[in-house]
Amino acid sequence: MEPQRLEEIIGRYPTPTGKILGILEHIQREMGYLPKDVLKLLAKRLELPLSELYSIATFYSFFTLEALGRHVVTVCMGTACHVKGAPELVASLKHHLGVEMDETTRDGKFLLTTDDGEYTLTSARCFGACSMAPVLRVDNKIFGYVTPERIPSILKQFGWEGNHH
Amino acid sequence: MIQVIIDGKTCAAEEGEILLAVARRNGIDIPSFCYEEALAPYGACRMCLVEVVKGGREGITTSCTLQVTEGLDVLTESPEIIRLRKALLELYLAQAPRSESIRALAARYGVTRTRFTKKTVRDDPLQNRCILCGLCVRVCRDVMGVGAINYIGRGQFTEINTPFFEENETCQGCGACAEVCPTGAIAIEDIAPNRIMKSWSGTKVPLKTCQSCGRYFAPSPFVDNTLEKLDTALKAALQDLCPDCKRKEMTRQAILLSTGTPLPMK
Ligand code: SF4
Ligand code: FES
Ligand code: FES
């Protein structure tokens, strides 16, 4: 994001109240995530400690600090889904998307993006649809009673054409 | 001046004073983890709960946020308070299993074990001792005016560290965070020529050498920022001297001053 563009965004928020959240949300919408250098620039510009912005950015699940793929596949890892086979779904998704997961983030979550930037695989806690467990979401669409066998047909609805590697 | 009653003892106080402070001044020790006189009331740790018997809103409340009014009557160790405090200590034993100070306070209340699962994080920068009281965050931001650290994440994974878990360029290495931490969670080590903020992503801050004896004595940015706030004469007199040499220099000046000799700067 160009510093010029950041200035424009800041300029839209004349009042201090809700300013930070508003600006961060704006950046997130425009870029799909909150890039580190933009956060650093914003902190300087608003004369706020960077730690404050980072704290907000990691508190709200709406924000992400990493670039996401064009499609985001979120597997529910809540208790019900876990019991009903969410780990098998994750294994199958990893296989079909060709992403490796040897690293989890500090809070036990994972965020994996394919090399071509098309898909991001991530997890979340209970979607509130336990009766349909295991559940996953691709972008805004929820799928219930998912089995590993159904993964390819689900991915195909989002432009997937077989293994990427 | 008004009068308040704490555990049956009548204590004089200014209207609006914080009850916890009034109690301490009167020798009544209410345990606390997140209270610090120099900071705004926060009320996060719940250790300082008291029972308001009369005056104000009756019931259980935190004494570190309670402003006293005439006739306020509180109990700091009622059976209900003790029961709650014990439960809290059990939770804290699970949250910070490696903290000596938590264990000591818990033992004082007869709590030696916890029913909750102990939280142990491997290679925890805060040594499995942090209770997230926020004192370090607040002292760094509100007193030192720096804000090098803050809460990160939320829920059970909340932790305190520098943004992006990177070495922080704003940290002055003053160590105020470690000073106020109630659980001894923050590790700092001086390895010349740097001070290493081990808990804060290994942030390195250069140490200053004393102009007189050559010893490393304090982090440079901290000394420089503090000096900036002093007037020029004092600043010139104290610049870059370690506490020992500073004391000698001050004595030398005091002697010169008392003998009427004009003040030559060393
Ligand atoms: S490190 Fe210490 S001062 Fe900071 S939040 Fe944890 S317990 Fe409180
Ligand atoms: S556990 Fe997956 S929807 Fe509730
Ligand atoms: S000291 Fe009162 S809540 Fe922490």
For the stretch B138-191, pLDDT in tens is 999 999 999 999 999 988 889 999 999 999 999 999 999 999 999 999 999 999
Of all residues in chain A, the one with the smallest CA distance to B149 is A51
Rounded to the nearest angstrom, the minimum Cα separation between B164 and chain A is: 7
Considering only CB atoms, B147 lies closest to which of A51, A106, A108, namely: A51
Is residue B217 in a domain?
A: no
Checking if the pLDDT of B49 tops 80, the result is yes
Residues from A in contact with B at Cβ < 8 Å? 36, 39, 48-55, 58-59, 106-108
Q: 3-class secondary structure for B149-188?
A: CEEECCHHHCEEECHHHCCCCCCCCCCHHHHHCCCCCCCE
Tens-place pLDDT, residues A138-164: 998 999 999 999 999 999 999 998 765
Please say if the pLDDT value at position B131 is more than 60. Answer: yes
Flag whether B126 is in a domain.
no
* Shortest CA gap A58–chain B (Å): 5
Q: What is the pLDDT of residues B61-79, one digit of tens each?
A: 999 999 999 999 999 999 9
Q: What is the DSSP string of B115-160?
A: SSPP---TT-TTTT------HHHHIIIIISS----EEES-GGG-EE
Q: What tens digit of pLDDT does each residue of B107-129 get?
A: 999 999 999 999 988 899 999 99
What is the predicted pLDDT for the residue at A158?
93
Pick the residue from chain A with its C-alpha nearest to B147: A49
Token readout for B75 is: 């109990």
Contacts of B225 (CB under 8 A, 6+ apart): B172
Q: Which residues of A touch B159 (CB under 8 A)?
A: 106
Q: What is the mean pLDDT of chain B?
A: 91
Percent of chain A past pLDDT 90, that is, above it, reads 64
- At residue B266, the pLDDT reads 47
Q: Tell the CATH superfamily of the A71-156 domain.
A: Glutaredoxin (3.40.30.10)
Question: Virtual CA dihedral for B1, B4, B10, B14, nearest 10 degrees?
Answer: -30
Which of these, B6, B10, B9, B141, lies nearest to B66 by C-alpha position?
B6
Q: Which of A47, A39, A44, A2 is nearest to A23 (CA)?
A: A39
Cβ of residue A69 lying under 6 Å from some atom of ligand 2? no
Query: Is B220 a member of any domain?
Result: no
Take residue A8 and report the two structure tokens written for it: 């424009």
A132 lines ligand 2 (CB under 6 A): no
Q: Residues of B with CB below 8 A from A48's CB? A: 147
The answer to the question of residue B84 being in a domain is: no
Q: How confident is the model at residue B263 (pLDDT cuts 50, 70, 90)?
A: low
**Do B150 and A49 lie within an 8 Å CB cutoff?**
yes
What is the spatial distance between Cα B263 and Cα B254, in angstroms, rounded to a whole number? 9
Here the tokens at position B31 are 């345990």
pLDDT of residue B160: 98
The mean per-residue pLDDT over the stretch B209-213 comes to 86
- The CATH number of the domain holding residue B12 is 3.10.20.740
Q: Is the peptide bond before A152 cis (omega within 30 degrees of 0)?
A: no
In a domain, B50, yes or no: yes
pLDDT for residue A165: 47
Region A113-126: mean pLDDT is 89
A59 neighbourhood in chain B, CB within 8 Å = 151, 153-154
pTM, entire model:
0.82
3-state SS, residue A20: helix
In a domain, B67, yes or no: yes
Closest CA to B197 of B162, B248, B152: B162
Domain definitions of chain A by residue range: 3-59, 71-156
Query: Who's near A137: CB < 8 A, 6+ residues apart?
Result: A72, A73, A74, A76, A124, A127, A143
Residue A18 has pLDDT above 80, yes or no: no
| Tokens at B234, concatenated | 């004092």
Distance CA A53, CA A51 (A): 6
pLDDT, mean of residues B226-242: 76
pLDDT number for residue B180: 96
The complex's ipTM works out to 0.84
Nearest Cα residue in chain A from B155: A59
Whether chain A has a CB inside 8 Å of the CB on B159: the answer is yes
Residue of A nearest to B122 (CA): A106
Selected residue of B151, B166, B169 to mutate for chain A interface (largest A Cβ count, 10 A): B151
Confidence check: pLDDT of B225 > 90? no
Based on the structure, what is the number of domains in chain B?
1
- What is the phi-psi region of residue B188: left when phi exceeds 0, alpha when psi lies from -120 to 50, beta otherwise? beta
Predicted local distance difference test score (pLDDT) of residue A108: 64
Task: Mention every residue, 6+ apart, whose C-beta is less than 8 A from residue B244.
Answer: B210, B213
Q: In which domain, by residue range, is B73 found? A: 2-77
Chain B residues with beta carbon closer than 8 angstroms to that of A50: 163, 170
Among A89-93, B5-9, B14-18, B211-215, where is mean pLDDT lowest? B211-215
Q: How close is the Cα of B26 to the center of ligand 3, in Å?
A: 18
CA-closest residue to ligand 1 atom 2: B181
Beta bridge partners of A122: A74, A111
Q: Tokens 């997230």 — which residue?
A: B132
CA distances from A32 to A28, A142, B158, B265 (A): 5, 20, 24, 60
Report which bound ligand comes closest to the CA of B92.
1
B140 lines ligand 3 (CB under 6 A): no
Distances (CA, A) of B185 to A54, B141, B142, B171, B173: 22, 18, 20, 17, 16
Of chain B, the end-to-end C-alpha distance in Å amounts to 50
> Residue B88: CB within 6 Å of ligand 3?
no
Secondary-structure breakdown of chain B: helix, strand, coil percentages, each rounded to the nearest 5? 30, 20, 50
Of A49, A51, A106, the CB nearest to B157: A106
